[in-house]
A and B are shown apart, each in its own frame.
Chain A
Amino acid sequence: MRNTTFTALLVVAAAIVFAAMLWVHNGYVFFAGYVVLQYIVLATAWNILGGYTGYVNFGVAAFFACGAYSTVVLHKLWAPPLIVMILVGGLVSGIIGLGTGYLTLRLRGTFFGIATLALAVVAQTLVTNWDFVGGSRGAYIIRPEHARYLPLDYIQYLCLWMLILSVVALSTARAIEHSRLGVGFATIRDDELAAEASGVPTLRLKLIATVLSGAFMGMAGAPLPYYVTYLDPSSGFSLSYAVNTIAMPLIGGTSSWVGPLIGAVLLGTLQQVATVTISSALSLLIVGLMLVGFVVAAPNGIIGWFAPATRTRMRRLRGAR
């Protein structure tokens, strides 16, 4: 299937989902849906670096929160339209991704993971000591009641934007898989030295992966201040973002764009249901238990049960020129 056809189908599916949400006519569906969609974007973004190139990023919260805090800054300065905030959030986190890449991509495995974790700590410390964005006290954002140009409540509007971001992230991930870039990413994951010897510009490709991954995480974080209306460093940089975001592709499968989607929908929905029916504290326990279960029962994730990796890849690589 061509990328344009795939994107068109995804847009249709997203439109159906949004129409169904409106039809249910329940505000909570949008609150819960926003979180699930946010995790689709985050998990897909993480998978571009962690799944395709094998570089495990524990610093998800840093990229996500920098997107969110860029919105706080813009809101205080000028309060531009949400689209501008999303783009700026993506730009800021993309640049952080580029810097992180230059500084850390010569590290591998555990060392790279620890470096990204350190990035989150450094970023959180900086934000905690930055008075303009509220410092440790946090920042309040007054959420408008309604969207400016659409007949939607603002929470519905936020959900719509997250749906659009999900479509963009999934389309990008699939396009990467079917491109020469995706082949290059896979060689980095398998053997970086052999990749270089085969003509693959590994450093450049890793930088592309960190920028794309960081940018999508920043874009996912940008609407957050309007969703939560109060943002402080401990919630913005919460470790749960990293835990969830890493668990979702691992549960769904890291070799394809479908994996993070399945993982995010499954885990995100389960967490939302548990939060309102049992306990909000239980949601991380669910992640932990599911992760242990899937690592044992499905090391290649849920998609590993259905599509043998080689067959999927063969189809994908035939398209790469």
Chain B
Amino acid sequence: MSEAPLLEVNGVGKRFGGFIALADIELAVAPGERVGLVGPNGSGKSTLVNCICGTLRNEAGSVRFAGHRLEGLSAHERTRLGLARSFQLPRPFATMTLAENLRVPILYAVNVRSGHAMTDIEGRCDELLRMFGLHEKAHRLPRDLTQIEMRKLELARAMAAEPRLLISDEAMAGLSHGEVDDILELLLKLNEQGVTIIMIEHIMRAVLAFSQRLVVLVAGRKIADGDPQAVVREPDVVQAYLGS
């Protein structure tokens, strides 16, 4: 990795009482990179995302993003720096339409970061909704969405914050084969536009198609990090994640 990393996770640790959720995690992500993060249920993937995004406080180690130390910064301040995430279980603003959902990060992240109000917020929302194929439901409430549309709304809202790094937390969970391809295509397109992406996923077909680098967590520890095809053949990974 020749370029300075966009995200640096150094020795991050997190406990829940006596349970070690994360232990000494090291991770560096370069600008524009596509990283897959996999691991069995309970391996600490979402906890790591929560520590990076500020939803949880890591007790050990440090996280740096775009040269900024993130310790002491709350989740919204990290979003304003350009670090966005989607949630494993979609969490739309239920009483707001899709367009209104997208307005929130524009008002609170993009406008604050730039220091002035975006002149055409509605145009930007429309652009995002079209990109994610949701424009026909722009003025509907999230309860009217299908499962894949809900996932797309999660990603669209994260992208409305105009992030440099997007963490997609199991955006394909529960989707059909074709729908997985649909999301995969969207993520690749976002990456082509310059967005660095960490994809957390269980669907290995999609992970392998997407990732330039694969990181594997097991029981809160990183057991592999490297070329996806090589990583999935490592005996520890096969044993712990894919089954022997």
Contact = CB atoms under 8 A, between A and B. Distances in A.
Secondary structure call for the B interface:
helix
A310 B142 CA distance: 11
Q: Determine the interface band of chain B, counting residues with CB < 8 A from chain A.
A: 35 or more
A320 B107 contact: yes
Contacts of B55: 193, 196-197
B93 A190 contact: yes
Nearest to A203: B74
A119 B176 CA distance: 52
Contacts of A314: 97, 100, 139
A203 B84 CA distance: 19
Nearest to B160: A198
A317 B103 contact: yes
Interface residues of A, number: 28
B92 A183 contact: no
B111 interface: yes
Interface in B64-100: 74-77, 79-80, 84-85, 87, 91-97, 100
Interface in A175-194: 180, 183-184, 186-187, 189-191, 193-194
A321 interface: yes
B222 interface: no
A309 interface: yes
Contacts of B100: 183, 313-314, 317
Interface SS, A side: helix
Given A184-B108, A196-B55, A309 B91 contact: no
B75 A191 contact: no
B107 A321 contact: yes
Contacts of B158: 197
Contact of A321 (B77, B95, B96, B117): B117
B161 interface: yes
Interface in B34-77: 53-55, 74-77
A196 B76 contact: yes
Contact of B161 (A193, A199, A318): A199
